[in-house]
Structure 1
Amino acid sequence: MTTESQDKEIKMAHAKSLYPCHMAQKTEIIALCALINSVYRGEAAKGGWTTEADLLEGQRCDVAMLEELAGRPDSYFLVATKENQMIACCHLQLTEAEVAECGMLSVAPPWQTQGVANTLLHTAEEYARGTWQVQRMRLWVIKQRPELTAYYQRRGYQFTGATLPFPDDSRYGIPKVAGLCLLAMEKALPLPA
């Protein structure tokens, strides 16, 4: 999934952070799956502001899906920890020569609103810019989540106008409302001078 030098680079970049980050290892996939599902779906997710439980039921992901994502070239899961406990994660992937995508940004409900997501998102941006020399970071956000799009706008992400229908695949969840769609948001990542 990652090389030792990549993992060391992430840890060194955020050695002073309250929430150290590292690239996930194969042994962490089951824990990643549990974390992501607990953040987005079910009763536990309702304890946080990022829940999709009112829009979708069922799972957000499964172990096979995460293993497939982690097995792609230039595709990683970034994990934030506190006292050796996994408290947040996101998926990071190079998708085009100048664009990386960040998805499944997940912070355990007890750790939300404490700056963990900011640390993780900043780490993902820095890694993508430094490793792949990308110029833009892209996110896909459910249109019916205005509080989430507002969160990303406050962090410099803007709508691109690109949209996708929500996947018609129960592995991503079963819609409880009609018309779900995904909106693309991007942020420019200028390379250091």
Structure 2
Amino acid sequence: MAQKTEMTALCTLINSVYRGETAKDGWTTEADLLSGQRCDLTMLNELITRPNSGFLVLGNTEEMIACCHLQLAAAEVAECGMLSVTPAWQNQGVASALLHTAEEYARNTWQARRMRLWIIKQRPELAAYYRRRGYHFTGTARPFPKDSRYGIPKVAGLRLLAMEKALARPS
């Protein structure tokens, strides 16, 4: 799990993957749907200080290349969010490896039986990515947050859809 001292680097990574011109170098960009930031330091510091919440990080000796937020959301349900891989490392299996690590961590540390994530409805390529990894839609939806800390919508009607995956019990 990331340390509090890594929050600035995490914030830079997450924002560079989802928003702005640099995000357009990768397939995970939300820059056509949202402007502004994806997160800020206050948000990340709040998340890291919650019980059963933290950031998994992958990096090499030069840089932080990937991260995701992981939290225990309810009894036996973990949530994964802000899965971020710098564009130069995308399409190399990094996100899949990190997601698998997050699932293992949730199952082994919190005894989670399901992993949940929220995707923007208007991102069908993201839904397809998670479907290939065993996630399915739950039927639960909610409006995109109106808090500008999450970004400023460029299109009307943004919605978040829940996807879940059952986490296999170790044999």
State the TM-score, normalizing by the size of structure 1.
Answer: 0.87
* Aligned with 1:49 (options 19, 24, 27): 27
Aligned residue pairs: how many?
A: 171
Deviation track 1:2-44 (CA, whole Å, cap 9, x = no partner) reads: xxxxxxxxxxxxxxxxxxxxx1011100000000000000000
Give, in whole Å, the separation in 2 of the partners of 1:65 and 1:179.
Answer: 24
1:154 aligns with 2:132: yes
Deviation track 1:83-138 (CA, whole Å, cap 9, x = no partner) reads: 35210000000011110000000000100001100110000000000011110000
1:191: how far off?
Answer: 1.2
Give, in whole Å, the separation in 2 of the partners of 1:185 and 1:135.
Answer: 14
Give matches, 1:163-174, under 5 Å.
163-174=141-152
1:190: how far off?
Answer: 1.9
Which residue matches 1:122?
Answer: 100
Q: Aligned with 2:17: secondary structure?
A: helix
Which residue matches 1:175?
Answer: 153
Q: Show structure 2 runs of 5+ residues with no match.
A: none
Which residue matches 2:75?
Answer: 97
Deviation track 1:142-191 (CA, whole Å, cap 9, x = no partner) reads: 00000000000000000000001000010000000000000000000021
Give, in whole Å, the separation in 2 of the partners of 1:52 and 1:114.
Answer: 20
State the TM-score, normalizing by the size of structure 2.
Answer: 0.99
Q: Show structure 1 runs of 5+ residues with no match.
A: 1-22
Taking only aligned residues, the RMSD between alpha carbons, in angstroms, comes to 0.7
1:82: how far off?
Answer: 2.2
Bigger shift: 78-87 or 40-49? 78-87
Aligned residue type for 1:105: L
Which residue matches 1:188?
Answer: 166
